[in-house]
Amino acid sequence: MARQKKTEKQEAVLPPAPVTDQPITETIETNYMPYVMSVIVSRAIPEIDGFKPSHRKLLYTMYKMGLLTGQRTKSANVVGQTMKLNPHGDMAIYDTLVRLTRGNASLLHPFIDSKGSFGKQYSSGMVRAASRYTEVKLDKFASELFTGIDKDAVDMVDNYDGTMKEPSLLPTTFPNILVTPNLGIAVGLASKTASFNLAEVCDATIAMLRNPKIGVDKILELMPAPDFPGGGYIIRDPEAMRQLYETGNGPVTVRSKYVYDKKQNCIDILEIPYSTTIEAIMAQLTKMMKANQLKDVTDFRDEIDKEGFKLTIDLRRGVDPDKLMIRLFKETPLEDSFPCNYTVLIDSVPRTLGIPDVIREWISFRSTCLRRELSFELGKMKDKLHLLLGLARILLDIDKAIKIIRETRLESEVVPNLCAGFRIDRIQAEFICEIRLRNLNREYILNRINEIDDLQKKIAETEEILGDDLRLRKLIASQLTEIKKKYAQPRRSEIIDVSEIEVYRKEDHIENYPAHYFLTAEGYFKKITDKSLRGNDEQALKENDRITASFDAENVTDFAFFTDKGRIFRCRGLDFDTCKASELGEFVPAKLGFDPDEKPVYCKIGPDWPENVNMVFLFANGKGVKIPLSAYEVKGNRRKLTGCFSTVSPVVGVYEEKKPFDVLFITDNGRAAVVSTSLIPVKTTKTAQGVQIIALKRGALIKETTDDPGSAFESSKGYKKIKIPASTVPLPGGFEQLSADI
């Protein structure tokens, strides 16, 4: 115990380890950059064959397992074998396999023929079964990935532990990079490729093989737009599509397909955008219904079955289904955008390519693969020809060959003796020695010799192809023609020009109805329908509050609130909820986002701002100004305008002047005057303070104003002034009560 304490004490007094400074640039270069390059090159970004390493390792494993023919095998077996090439967990490998299957519906041309439940690309809720329950084999279409792979078409490299060989690329006989959609996110880079129709891709590639200088216009003609496995309508904007083809970057807008069932009064969504799921669509519909924003819909449900995708939306009676769908396309993922980014690894270097450039790079890659394959076959044919030429030497004297073999004493001398007897080399002699006794007849030997002419023709033809780029391109084109003939499918995504699409306008989808509006002095605003107001005219108000304005309008009517801070807030009646007369209504400052202590002082109705109408602003310091109403007209949908009138003195009255009228001014010291608005000059500067209308004694202020002097006096005689600044006249006794009544 004492020894242990002593050791702890000694450790406690040991000096700290020395700290070595390391520049951040060195840290990034030695630690971070190798990781970055590994993710980019070995994991996330597809290469010119259209595959990421995980796809390539899986498919090659299945090829070596002989799954191009024969029966399916358990997916777990494939996953286990793939782990010899792919140093990742079994679940990651299985997820890769699932996406390549026919059952998952992620690809236009699946590479794996599957049996069992593999989920669906269009549903995040439909999960795949475990690998021990599902079965797979390579689809017939996958044979186009491996043509020439056993003939040195591509480089074979060591796997991660050096125990096996795997292809660096797959020698695809068609531009798979354009046919198979892909998504990869690396470090600082990302790639997202859309799928195109195989027949269109073949046509465009053949056109470029015939004319390498072909432009974007021709490619757009042959490949007008992507083609997604989930179908739908592609809304084609010519300029946006051209940008995508030229730069490799750009969005593709996809819209759902639907049919209206008149008998059931429902909409059946049959195809949705490739970039969304049925769960995302239903979540948005649920949100809208909870917010009472989808009154035309009574219910919706997932009706996916063995026949395929189906989302049903039940409608209320009398609803226009096409009009409703225009709104849903705008406000839900039933219309979605697929952002393309054609970042591809070319010789291990990431490059962002336009569509024509992708085709050119694939042609270069395919030409290299085909050259290597033809060179391999040429070597094999020359080797066979060499053996057959040796066999031809013994044709005229088979008995001599037999005699040489029989008379040779040692086995090791047979080959040298044959070489000397017929003037052939050792390889030819070894071939002759291996011929079985039953084949030492003239018929067998003549048949083998007849192959010489065919071989010589094939060798000459192959050498011509290898020496002529035009011949090589014709061969690639013929292969593409054959692929199109065997595997072409009609387009799944129909194309609609953007000019044919009806533009969504919110106004067309807003329910409109008559309504009554009330604004109170405290800033509360009520929207009450005819039905709610009928038989209940008594308005609930806060204590000491009163109604200052009322309007008969519609749900879509425009309103403009002038505030005491010299600002205007624009809104529409539909921005406010309907309420009952027994409710206080909505507090305008909170609803429209006023500043603290900011209050509405006037409310204007209607969208029109005519030139022959003025706004009259009266201030507590006795001044007033008229501003043309047209000065407040703005373009666009600006919700807030600032600097609308002077705030030097508090505003005590705001009026809309279509023709001159009288205004009663009441001061805080019990005096009054009536002045016509015709005496107030018009100013073009909105923040002008105006002119002195009322002559005030020192310290006095205008308390309030009204445009209805008759409500205060039976006769304004004695108070009416014809010049400004106007002097005030004392109010009779009880003016405070009179003011309160006003």
Q: Are 639 and 593 in contact (CB under 8 A)?
A: no
- Of 133, 260, 444, 719, the active-site residue reads 133
- CA–CA distance, 627 with 600 (Å, rounded to integer): 18
Supply the pLDDT for residue 446: 78
DSSP-derived 3-state class of residue 621: coil
Give pLDDT, residue 477.
Answer: 97
Residue 510: pLDDT band with limits 50, 70, 90: confident
Position 712 scores a pLDDT of: 64
pLDDT digits (tens, 9 = 90+) for 117-136: 999 999 998 999 999 999 99
- Confidence band (pLDDT; 50, 70, 90) for 1? very low
∠ CA 320-323-325 to the nearest 5 degrees?
A: 105
Smallest Cα–Cα separation from 728: which of 665, 652, 663? 665
623 has a pLDDT exceeding 50: yes
Q: What is the pLDDT of residue 733?
A: 61
What is the CATH number assigned to the segment(s) 363-487?
A: 1.10.268.10
Q: What are phi and psi of 186, to 5 degrees?
A: -105, -155
Could you tell me the two tokens for 187? 């470090």
- pLDDT > 70: percent of the chain: 94
State residue 514's pLDDT score. 86
Identify whether 133 is a catalytic site residue: yes
Q: What is the mean pLDDT of residues 501-521?
A: 81
- C-alpha to C-alpha distances, 499 to 237, 259, 294, 507, nearest whole angstrom: 8, 22, 28, 20
Domain spans, the chain: 37-172, 257-333, 363-487
* C-alpha to C-alpha distance for 215 and 212, rounded to whole angstroms: 9
**What confidence score (pLDDT) does residue 734 get?**
47
CA distance 68 to 15: 67
Q: What is the 3-state secondary structure (H, E, C) of 81-129?
A: HHCCCCCCCHHHHHHHHHHCECCCCCCCCCCEEEECCCCECCECCCCCC
| Arithmetic mean of pLDDT, 16-44 | 78
What confidence score (pLDDT) does residue 737 get? 46
Q: Residue 628: pLDDT above 60?
A: yes
Query: So what's the pLDDT on residue 529?
Result: 84
Euclidean distance between CA atoms 260 and 523, whole angstroms: 47
Q: What's the average model confidence in pLDDT over 561-587?
A: 88
pLDDT at 524: 92
Q: How many helices (H) and strands (E) does the chain have?
A: 21, 34
pLDDT band at 100, cuts 50/70/90?
very high
CATH class as words, domain 257-333: alpha beta
Mean pLDDT within 417-441: 85
Q: Which range is least confidently modeled, 92-96, 368-372, 675-679?
A: 675-679
**Closest among 203, 241, 239, 248 to 225, alpha carbons compared:** 241
Distance CA 633, CA 616 (A): 16
pLDDT at 15 over 90: no
Asked if 665 and 705 touch (Cβ cutoff 8 Å), the reply is: yes
Q: Is the pLDDT of residue 14 over 80?
A: no
Q: What is the 3-state secondary structure (H, E, C) of 256-301?
A: CEEEEECCCCEEEEEECCCCCCHHHHHHHHHHHHHCCCCCCEEEEE
Where residue 93 falls (left for φ over 0; alpha for ψ -120 to 50; beta otherwise) is: alpha
Place of tokens 């236009």: 108
CATH code: domain 37-172 is 3.90.199.10
Query: What is the reported pLDDT for 511?
Result: 73
Distance, CA of 313 to CA of 298 (rounded, Å)? 8
Q: What is the pLDDT of residues 267-299, one digit of tens each?
A: 999 999 999 999 999 999 999 998 878 888 999
List pLDDT tens digits, range 643-676.
Answer: 999 999 999 999 989 899 989 898 988 888 899 9
Q: 12-21, 161-170, 572-581: which range is least confident on average? A: 12-21
Look at strands 135-138 and 156-158 and give their pairing. Answer: unpaired
312 falls in which pLDDT band (50, 70, 90)? very high
- Let me know: does 313 contact 260? Beta carbons within 8 Å: no
Q: What pLDDT is attached to residue 543?
A: 87
Q: What is the pTM of this model?
A: 0.76
* Three-state SS annotation for 155-206: CEEECCCCCCEEECCCCCCCCHHHHCCEEEECCCCEEEECCCCHHHHHHHHH
Q: pLDDT tens digits for 49-87?
A: 999 999 999 999 999 999 999 899 999 999 999 999 988
